[in-house]
Chains A and B, each alone.
Chain A
């Protein structure tokens, strides 16, 4: 059964919330919680804290909704609130947002590259390989520093633009691109190391 607020635009939903319609705010939560979950899951490991933070994010959004002037997409604004809330949490817990990524270099990898590309092209095993790759990649993404895994998820999984991510994180676009480059390189090297270990 569809709610009467389900088909409204973000602007209409916000206006309804501002007139005291809390069901419109429930629709806003349902529309945006997937994006909020991406940010919270990537930035916070503790399950209970995630629950508290998710609520905190929407309570902050509700409180500050009168100040939202649609200068950006509503989802970007909610994502910004989420990112800032998680950032505050990390600061309070004295956790590190950006850690160094161990760069193994690529000197000894050409042979592995060829082996790897060979595996990618095996037609019959493609699905199995993709599933395996997906699992390994999930683990490797989780091992990345918080800022890297957040950026790589927003860019490649949520398909957000540099401009949107820059608004959310308040990072200059150059820094953003640099972090994404490093994150992809780290993931590539981790994958190659993984396959190298399996080969041994």
Chain B
């Protein structure tokens, strides 16, 4: 008789007979000891598969939902109001600039170049701060996503 198969080979035979080598299959078919071990493994695996599955004895969904911040309201209505106001303001601004165009042109010419540079520098500073803020928020969101 061939030597007894290893424990791993016996397990393999018990789990998936077709994956076993012919010599292993032949040995087991003629060896009562190995056959008994295989039977134990098969019974073991069957019994594990039939083990009662545990379950939580509380309403998990409710507990979790209670901790989730309520979803943001739909802003579709608010958005339409916002766009209407923006449209009205834009039209009014256009009308005012059209009617008082000569006055504004005279005003700008009277300020001189120093004021214009100041205005440009302020606008640039605001843009830089906004850009930095957007970048910080982006980094923060990426950090939140990376939890592993």
Partner-B contacts on A (CB < 8 A): 20-22, 25-26, 29-30, 33-34, 37-38, 41, 50-51, 54-55, 58-60, 62-64, 66-67, 84, 106, 110, 113-114, 116-117, 120, 130, 133-134, 137-138, 141, 152-153, 156-157, 159, 181, 184-185, 187-188, 191-192
Q: Are B60's CB and A54's CB within 8 A?
A: yes
With contacts A159-B49, A181-B8 taken as known, whether A37 is within 8 angstroms of B145 at the C-beta atoms is no
Question: CB-defined interface of B23-42 with A at 8 Å, one 1/0 digit per residue?
Answer: 00000000011011101110
Query: What residues on A are CB-neighbors of B49 within 8 Å?
Result: 156-157, 159
Q: How far is the CA of A114 from the CA of B35 in the complex (A)?
A: 9
Least Cβ–Cβ distance between B37 and chain A, in angstroms: 6
Interface size grouping (class) on chain B: 35 or more
3 tightest A-B CB contacts, nearest first = A20-B71, A113-B36, A117-B36
Q: How far is the CA of A130 from the CA of B50 in the complex (A)?
A: 10
Query: What residues on B are CB-neighbors of A58 within 8 Å?
Result: 60, 64
Least Cβ–Cβ distance between B82 and chain A, in angstroms: 20
Query: What residues on B are CB-neighbors of A21 within 8 Å?
Result: 71
Query: What residues on B are CB-neighbors of A30 within 8 Å?
Result: 61
Least Cβ–Cβ distance between B33 and chain A, in angstroms: 5
